[in-house]
Amino acid sequence: MLVGQTPERVTGARRTDSGWSFLVDLTELERIPSTTSVIATYRLDVDDRGCLMGYERLRRFVRGATD
pLDDT in tens, 4-31: 778 899 999 999 999 999 999 999 999 9
Q: Which of 22, 27, 28 is nearest to 10 (CA)?
A: 22
19: left (phi over 0), alpha (psi -120 to 50) or beta: left
**Among 1, 6, 10, 5, which Cα is nearest to 43's?**
10
The 10s digit of each residue's pLDDT in 42-66 is: 999 999 999 999 999 999 999 988 8
The residues that bridge with 23 in the sheet, in sequence order, are 12, 43
2/67 Cα distance (integer angstroms): 24
